[in-house]
Chains A and B, each alone.
Chain A
Amino acid sequence: MLKRFNILLIEPSDLIADGFTALLEESGNFVISNRLSSIAEFNKKEHSGTDLTIVDTIALKFDQYSEVRSIIPSETSSHIVALITTLPNNKRLHLFDSYFSIWDNRKEIIEKLLLLFNNEDTPDNKTIEDRNALSQREKEVLVAVAAGLTNKEIADKLHLSIHTVTTHRKNISRKTGINSISGLTVYAIINKLVDLHDL
């Protein structure tokens, strides 16, 4: 996990840009390789090889939300994430791969960004079965759910934020087709992830 992801930051405020740069670089996973004050400064050639573009929604005009993917093509930057510093246009946030707000804490921000790179394998070269297989982390969460732990307890035990635990749980249910806690317990036992006597 020591690969460092290159970030292009589009942020008009120096204060936010500098604070954000410090916060991300401290995590060791990210490097801010470029910072622009407006989206007009973006240049496909100059900024190619970016892993992740983070755009402050304040730098986007209303009609630019829907064009953000054509302005910043995926060849240049594989992910685009919205940074929310003002009241955003919520209806348009789904156009981004993810989003976070200046009110999110350090842990939440880093985890949201890392989640983007968790399933890096492109869907095309994986079978549906592979894609639906639980990741190691998801298995750990599942075992904890089966043991009857609450989201808060799971977060503490696995050193995750509650938000990330919820995301894992949603993914587990989406992948397995099982939603209830008791159903997930049955799944964990049938698949021998836990032993009945350990519960």
Chain B
Amino acid sequence: MISSSSRLADVINQTPCILSVIDRLNIRLGFHDATIRDICNRYGFSVELLTSIFNIYAHNGYEPQIDALSKQDILKLVKYLQTSHRYYSKKSFPKLHRKIHLLLKKGDASNAQILHKFYDDYSEELAHHFLFEETTVFPYVKRLLSNTVKVESRFDIYSFAQNHTNIEEKLSDLKNILLKYLPEDYPSALRIDLLNNIYAIEQDLARHTIIEDKMLIPAIIRLETISGRK
């Protein structure tokens, strides 16, 4: 388990996908032998917040302790999630889209047409989901933190979690289509590159979802209870 005395370099060497997490947390590389505690002191995170996020990435089935999170932590968590959304929608997915485009040019036109449509619908759904979080969920959390919530501005966090399932389901469908069902005549190198890309995004998004479902949502419920709303 990653703890306050773990060295960040060891953490990343063991779980390389954390590299993109620290980028989104705005932690710069070149940190020598800094421990998680050192990093927290330097960047103003609590040890609980950072180890929770890192452990979600490093250990399947890890259950974060949200009781240890302060209001300050929850604000930082929201900021991290916002940065992640920007990262997905400005970097990961456009890159994926370019590769899909390149690959589909090499084959049957009707396959290309239907797969482009599938991908466009998926991007739209994703954008819609992110937008909902940006315009509804995150502002709601901020209002809860500053005690300025009106009763009628509540939203249904359970339908929010269902949305996550749909998004992961479609990405997994895309992966299986490219892996199993697109005919053999597409160039392998492009196809493998694209699949590797999807595996990475899939893993990252799954962890992102756990952070929202197991840290953000319980934090919201706890804040609602504190403010006597539920």
- Residue numbers of A with Cβ under 8 A of B are 176-180, 182-183, 185-187, 189-191, 195-196
Contact = CB atoms under 8 A, between A and B. Distances in A.
B111 interface: yes
Report whether over half of chain B's contact residues are helix, strand or loop; otherwise say mixed: helix
A178 B121 CA distance: 16
8 contacts: A177-B180, A178-B176, A182-B121, A182-B170, A189-B114, A190-B183, A195-B110, A196-B110
A128 to B, nearest CB: 13
A172 to B, nearest CB: 12
A179 B169 contact: yes
A183 B118 contact: yes
With most chain B CB atoms within 10 A of its CB, the pick from A176, A180, A187, A195 is A180
B113 A187 contact: no
Given A178-B173, A179-B173, A191-B181, A186 B110 contact: no
A186 B176 contact: no
B181 A187 contact: yes
A195 B176 CA distance: 21
Given A179-B172, A182-B121, A183-B177, 17 more contacts: A176-B176, A177-B172, A178-B173, A178-B176, A179-B173, A180-B169, A180-B173, A182-B118, A182-B170, A182-B173, A183-B173, A183-B176, A186-B114, A187-B181, A190-B111, A190-B181, A196-B110
A190 B173 contact: no
A191 B108 CA distance: 12
Contacts of B180: 177
A187 B176 CA distance: 10
Given A179-B172, A179-B173, A186 B113 contact: no
Given A186-B177, A190-B177, A196 B114 contact: yes
Contacts of A195: 110
A197 to B, nearest CB: 8
B172 A185 contact: no
B190 interface: no
Interface in B139-189: 166, 169-170, 172-174, 176-177, 180-183
Interface in B100-149: 110-111, 113-115, 117-118, 121-122
Contacts of A187: 177, 181
Contact of B166 (A177, A180, A191): A180
A103 to B, nearest CB: 30
Nearest to B111: A190
Nearest to A189: B114
A90 to B, nearest CB: 25
A190 B185 CA distance: 13
A180 B117 CA distance: 14
